[in-house]
Chain A
Amino acid sequence: MLVLFTDTDTDITLAEAKEFGYRLISMPYSIDGVTTYPYEDFEVFDSHTFYDQLRAGALPNTSAISTQKYKDYFEPVFEAGDDILYVHFSRNMTATFDSMDIAVKELLEKYPDRKFYEIDTKGITLCSLLPVKEIGDMYKEGKSAEEILKWAETEIDKVACYFFADDLKFFKHSGRVSGLAGTMGTLLGIRPIIYMTEEGKLESIGKEKGRVKAMERLIAYVDELAEDIKDHRVLIGHTDSLDIAEEIERMLKEKYGDDLRTEIVVVNPTAGSHCGPNTVGVCFHANRRTV
Chain B
Amino acid sequence: MTKTIDGIVYLNMLRAGAQKLNENRTAVNDLNVFPIPDGDTGDNMFMTVNAGAEKTQENEHIGAVASRAAREMLFGARGNSGVILSRIFSGIAKSIGGTSTLDADGFIKAMELGVKEAYGSVATPVEGTILTVWREGTEKLNKQTPDTFEELFDILLPELKRSLEHTPELLDVLRDAGVVDSGGAGLYYIAQGMRDGLSGEFHSISAGGTAAHAVDLNAFTEDSVLEFGYCTEFLLRLQKSKIKIDKFDTEAFTDWLNSVGDSVVCFKEGSIVKVHVHTKTPGDILNHCQRYGEFLTTKIENMTLQHNGSHEMQELKLRSKRKKPYGLVTVASGAGLKKLFTSLGCDVVVDGGQSMNPSAEDLVKAYEKTNAETVYVFPNNGNIILTAEQAAKLYDDADVRVIRTKTIGEGYSAISLFDPLIGDTDTVEEHLNELIEDVVTGMVSIASRDVSTGEVEVIKDDYIGFVGDDIYVDEKTAEDAMLGLCEKLDAGSYDIILLLAGEDAGEQAAQKLCDDLTAKYPRSEVIMVNGGQPIYDYILILE
Residues of A within 8 A of B (CB): 179, 181-186, 188-190, 206-213
Within 8 A of A (CB), among B393-420: 412-413, 416-420
3 closest Cβ contacts across the A-B interface?
A: A182-B345, A210-B495, A186-B343
Give the Cβ gap from B222 to chain A, nearest Cβ, in Å.
35
Residue on B nearest A214 in the bound complex, by CB: B495
Q: Which residues on A sit within 8 Å (CB–CB) of B416?
A: 184, 188, 190, 207, 209
CB-CB < 8 A to A185: which residues of B?
343
Interface size on B, residues (CB 8 A): 19
Could you list some 8 contacts between A and B, CB below 8 A?
A: A181-B419, A183-B343, A183-B345, A184-B345, A189-B498, A189-B527, A190-B417, A209-B413
Q: Residue on B with the closest CB to A204?
A: B421
List, in ascending order, chain A residues with CB within 8 A of B420's CB.
181
Q: Is the beta-carbon distance between A206 and B495 smaller than 8 angstroms?
A: no
Q: List 16 additional A-B contacts (Cβ < 8 Å) besides A188-B340, A207-B416, A210-B543.
A: A181-B421, A182-B418, A184-B343, A186-B344, A186-B529, A188-B344, A188-B416, A188-B498, A188-B529, A189-B495, A189-B498, A189-B543, A207-B417, A207-B419, A210-B525, A213-B495
User: Once the chains are docked, how many angstroms separate the CA of A182 from the CA of B343?
Assistant: 9
Chain A residues whose CB sits within 8 angstroms of the CB of B412 once the complex forms: 188
Judge whether B418 and A181 touch: CB under 8 Å: yes
Contact B525 A211 (CB under 8 A): yes
Check if B305 is an interface residue, CB within 8 A of chain A: no
Most buried by A among B345, B420, B496: B496
Bound Cα distance from A190 to B529, whole angstroms: 14
A188 near B417: Cβ-Cβ < 8 Å? no
Q: Is the CB of B496 within 8 A of A189?
A: yes
A-contact bits for B503-543, CB 8 A (1 contact / 0 none): 00000000000000000000001010100000000000001
Residues in chain B near residue A182, CB distance under 8 A: 344-345, 418
- In the complex, which residue of chain A has the Cβ closest to the Cβ of B495? A210
What CA separation (Å) do A78 and B498 show in the bound complex? Answer: 60
Interface set, chain B 367-385, CB cutoff 8 A to A: none
- Smallest beta-carbon distance A101→chain B, Å: 35
Name the distance in Å between A273's Cβ and chain B's nearest Cβ.
Answer: 23
Give the CA-CA distance A212 to B416 in the complex, in Å.
16
When the two chains form their complex, are residues B419 and A209 in contact, meaning their CB atoms are under 8 A apart?
Answer: no
Q: What is the distance, in angstroms, from B19's C-beta to the closest C-beta of chain A?
A: 46
Kindly provide the distance from the CB of B180 to the nearest chain A CB, expressed in whole angstroms: 42
On chain B, the residues within 8 Å of A179 by CB distance are 421
Bound together, the chains give a CA A200 to CA B421 distance in angstroms of 22
Which residues from A are CB-within-8-Å of B543?
A: 189, 209-210
**A188 in contact with B495 (CB, 8 Å):** no
Q: Using Cβ atoms and an 8 Å threshold, which residues of chain B touch A188?
A: 340, 344, 412, 416, 498, 527, 529
Chain A residue numbers with a CB within 8 Å of B418 are 181-182
Q: Which residue of B lies closest to A182 (CB)?
A: B345
